[in-house]
Chains A and B, each alone.
Chain A
Amino acid sequence: MSNTVSTEPEIIYDKQGNPHEVVDFNNDYEGAKLGFWLFLFTEIMIFGAMFLVFGFYLFQNTPEFMQSSGELNRVLGGTNTFILLLSALCMGLSLVKLRNGQPNTSKKFIWATIVLATIFLVIKYIEWSHEIHLGIYPGSPTLNEMENGTKLFFGLYFTMTGLHGLHIIIGIGVMFWVLALINSGKITSTDFVVLENTALYWDLVHLVWVFVFPIFYLIY
């Protein structure tokens, strides 16, 4: 369906003659947001299942998990937490600016979010390469000689931070798409649901990290 300019809302009447508006499925702000919230539920179920697995093995291998946690770099992890929180702020501000009718400022904040997200990934890359350099990665000979709890900890560490990193990468892609939509006038100060949903997604991504960070880095 091409994006036809929305005409007047369709009105029907009941027996008493009261008017009722028919919701236009092509242009339904609340529907778009509802759908996206449902999608966020599925994301929560995905990460929730991973947290469940983590909790299960933490309970079984508490000493090894605590010991392995001490080997992670808390400074880099903490920096990343701060960067993601900052990026979520930028994302929110870009939405506020767009709704205030300042698309250019809004775009600057989206760029800031993209830059911060990229820095997050770079730091993540440094952390991962450090661990891989030490020979700690799933299935590595070094790791296979360690305690079972350590294997599980790092198996979960790479799986969960990897899954989270994938969400960051997808988020960056979506933000470039949003920038293109603002440039082509598809997202405006009155029709901003795509940006709003992107901001919701980004909030979820940073919120997941807010939980991932303490369970891996701070249980030492």
Chain B
Amino acid sequence: MNNVQKSFYDETHTIFGHHKNKILQWIFSIDHKRISLMYLFVMLAFFAVAVIVALIMRLELFSPGQDFIDPNTYNQAFTLHGVIMIFLFIVPGIPAALGNFLLPLQLGARDVSFPKLNLLSWWLYVFGALLAVASLFIGDGFADTGWTFYAPYSVKTGTNVVWALSAAFILGFASILTGINFVATIHRLRAPGMGFFKMPLFVWGLYATSWIQILATPVVGISLIMVILERTLGIGIFDPTKGGDPVLLEHMFWIYSHPAVYLMILPAFGIASEIVPTFCRKPIFGYHAIAISSAMIAGVGYLVWGHHMYTSGESEMIKLIFSALTFFVAVPTGVKFFDWIATMYKASIDFKTPMLWTVGTFVTFIIGGLTGLIVASVGVDVYLHDTYFVVAHFHYAILGGVVFLMFAGFHYWFPKITGKMYDEKHASRAFYVIFVGFNMLWFPMFLAGMFGMPRRYFDYLPEFEIYHKVATMGSWLFALGLIYMFATLYRGWRYGEKAGANPWNATTLEWQIPSPPQLENFGTIPYVDFMPYEYKDGEPVHHFDLAVKEDSPHE
């Protein structure tokens, strides 16, 4: 290994030629690795904001009645929490941050297909984020509609809905550009010899996600524009007094926003598919099944949006069809889970922190996924609709699925991104703290929801107090765990030991180059005539040193 190699932290390509200023070298960089880190930091900053907002809401709900924020502020708080978490954190989260870093590395490419477009989408993302923040301080403050912007309330309320909608539109545009970039990259820049069924499974997850970004995001974009026009000009499309139909907005909103939850989870599943074989030291079970199931989830995910609207007025027939299709999504998801379990079967599993997070996610996501089937049943959902049961369900699925796997990915690729290693002992303890806090926070909500606690309510009846008390205490534990985890990662970044190129003995191409990678990633591009995750007797079958340029044919 050549140790004097410069990494991407030392040198970069920028869009306007050379800059002396270090900050300009970052914000104008068109290197996918730098862009991914810029996404990561902005994203985590907003994650912190949304977590704090959530903690404030939980604190307000600690005891019944008004404690320290008023009902309108509470409405704005849950809207702010939802908008930030969905549009600024989860949707860009894995694709734009981790995906941007890893996609070219795993494909054996030197960058994405359109590096300048990649930078543009980061700028749009920051612009949209600033727009959302600005609306907090103008007029009547942030929108209080919930992140779904349902009409007619979103047309009538006096808060800054237009700002929030514009922000969401711009963020959607950024997300579309990332999707286009990734699909083009996957089609064009795979290393020679790497067919679609030799790609790492994280890339498969990103591929399915990118297609959802391309095909579904425009629909929500135009719907948000129509709500803006409704508010500013009164075009009447969603206004019942002019013959418009508010439920149409719900349809158009969920045509995007339900596929969007698969957009969130698919790359997360990809992370799990990377981590499981690495720490089981075995080839993954059912590679093709996992790859195809990603595409299947993306496809079927398009056809299930109506299950958000069982109570909004749908014909009985449509309800049954949507319900049946929703159940069908569980099939490819189940395929993935059984494949992971089968990979772990009889393996000598190395429970390093990334693997801990992944196995923890299997527990929480199974709960989130199976309760999804409960609310997908028409009869039950009429009872559970808009209760805490739904809130607990999607937090188990999104927080306990996507975010947990994102954390798994942070730990797994931490040595690759920083070149250093975090402290294993503290990192695994942080996992246990978060895991316990998470279940304490959300599990009581299943119960409260089943007994009839409605979501988005500022106050509650005394009989729900116990659930709210436990949940709020869980939220403190959860927040402490987050601080612990990020502190551990920060210490690893500053003071950690050098990690080396391949600390986990992993097989995919990103581990065959130094950590952190150099500018343009590869000196030599390998000819890929092998499957990812090839292990023999617990050791990777192939070893490469791809950092430097070779002139002779490989091997």
Contact = CB atoms under 8 A, between A and B. Distances in A.
A19 B370 CA distance: 50
Max chain B C-beta neighbours (<10 A), residue from A17, A23, A50, A156: A23
B540 interface: no
Contacts of A49: 218-219, 222-223, 252, 255
B214 A42 contact: yes
Given A28-B113, A45-B219, A149-B243, A53 B527 contact: no
Given A53-B237, A159-B226, A34 B527 contact: no
Max chain A C-beta neighbours (<10 A), residue from B189, B193, B218: B218
A14 B115 CA distance: 28
Contacts of A138: 229, 233-236
B527 A15 contact: yes
B525 A25 contact: no
B188 A31 contact: yes
Interface stretch (B57-65, B177-185, B305-313, B463-471): B177-185
Contacts of B233: 137-139, 158
A12 interface: yes
Contacts of A2: 17
B111 A155 contact: no
B455 interface: no
Contacts of A10: 525
B554 A13 contact: yes
A25 B112 contact: yes
- Using C-beta atoms within 8 Å of the partner chain, give the interface range for chain A: 35 or more
A158 B235 contact: yes
A127 interface: no
Interface residues of B, number: 56
A57 B233 CA distance: 19
Contacts of B218: 42-43, 45-46, 49
A147 B236 CA distance: 12
Interface in B72-110: 109-110
Contacts of A25: 109-113, 115, 185, 188-189
Given A14-B529, A25-B112, A155 B188 contact: no
Nearest to B179: A38
Contacts of A130: none
A30 interface: yes
A38 B214 contact: yes
B491 to A, nearest CB: 36
Contacts of A159: 226, 229, 235, 237
A148 interface: yes
B244 A38 contact: no
B187 interface: yes
Given A1-B13, A13-B554, A15-B529, A45 B215 contact: yes
A153 to B, nearest CB: 9
Interface string B1-33: 000000000000100010000000000001000
B217 interface: yes
Contact of B236 (A41, A56, A60, A152): A152
A2 to B, nearest CB: 7
Interface string A125-159: 00000000000011100001001110110011011
A39 B555 CA distance: 41
Interface in A23-63: 23, 25, 28, 30-32, 34-35, 38-39, 41-43, 45-46, 48-50, 52-53, 56-57, 60-61
Given A31-B188, A38-B184, A138-B235, A155 B113 contact: no
Contact of B525 (A22, A144, A148): A22
A152 B525 CA distance: 58
Contacts of A14: 192-193, 527, 529, 553-554
Nearest to B525: A22
Nearest to A148: B243
Interface in B357-410: none
B418 interface: no
B176 interface: yes
A186 interface: no
B243 A152 contact: yes
Nearest to B240: A148
A38 B183 contact: yes
Nearest to A38: B180
Nearest to B220: A49
27 contacts: A12-B192, A12-B527, A12-B553, A14-B554, A15-B529, A15-B554, A20-B193, A22-B191, A25-B185, A30-B188, A31-B188, A34-B187, A41-B214, A45-B218, A46-B222, A48-B219, A49-B252, A50-B222, A52-B252, A53-B237, A56-B248, A137-B233, A138-B233, A138-B236, A151-B242, A155-B234, A158-B235
